[in-house]
Structure 1
């Protein structure tokens, strides 16, 4: 029996899924065995690059991606990775309120029903005020930022997940700014919370924005 210690974070699973789709497209369009062998090696290599370190057993698990031949086999393989997912830590209403102390009537999503296993960062919108709230875990601590999100009604590349999505402009007032000296930071990001979490493959842009917004 394999050791099912979780080691795959959501953004790393998204990398594996991306490589699995790349492999499937190649299988449908290429017959040359040498080309297929190269693509299989490339897909596994890029999947492994998403991790800083891997045990021999974890490497074997990722290498199994190269063995898949059909769409259903690939899906079965991806399903088999679910027990290895490291979920986003569950957030309580009390913890969320502490992150946003200036918001007196904080409207929260149903925190108990969120799909934490497939979440890289928690986000929700208070549609009454067009405020977007983001919660992220950094070094075993939750960080939270909030700001106004304005729909652009245009598609473009999201700063967080780098996918072509319907964008909004997220504007965050920087800490320490006063009415006389307002300063803010903004970026174009996905309007769709779920799509962003299902697409993000690198947490660096998100972490950089959170760091800048928290200053």
Structure 2
């Protein structure tokens, strides 16, 4: 009887393994990520972002100067400056306001770790809603305290996911503030002979302005109403 049961048991395990969900494709060897991105015209930007999301922070920084370095050297002096503790200053100023905006670079996990260090003290001051760029509008973070891979590309970066979990654990309402790009509009108006247009949605109210030059190239695209 044992000789019969064992093969069947092994077969069940193998069949279950075949149906297992594949791993997160964003996590790969650094060389594989670089080779995959090198096929596109924006390889430098893609490597900067993709390597960071996969946890290769030092490798990602190799590409930073290629796209961010100013064209001309910028010379500064600290002779007339005072060095302050950034965390203490932010928390002191935050107590005077109801909204606090923190700038960050997607490829810099240090920024998210710094933000995480502020959350507990900010919550004690009364801040209780946490909005983050990178969280897609179609998410379920109001129903659970952790993100999943399909709720935003940058949420796959380990320190970003940790920041989201920590905020929820502390009691923050974690929400998205980015909008869903519309694929269709209710109406449109041609603005000039170049083909510039204003696209309109009536319910809910929304609109987009698309400006083109003389040869039909889009030179400006902007949403022209409050987006929800």
Tell whether the structures are fold-level matches, with TM greater than 0.5.
Answer: no
Which one has a larger percent strand, Structure 1 or Structure 2?
Answer: 1
Q: Larger relative CO (CA 8 A, sep 6+): 1 or 2? A: 1
Normalising TM by the smaller chain, what interval? under 0.3
Give the number of the structure whose alpha-carbon radius of gyration is greater.
2
Tell me the TM-score normalised to structure 2 length.
0.25
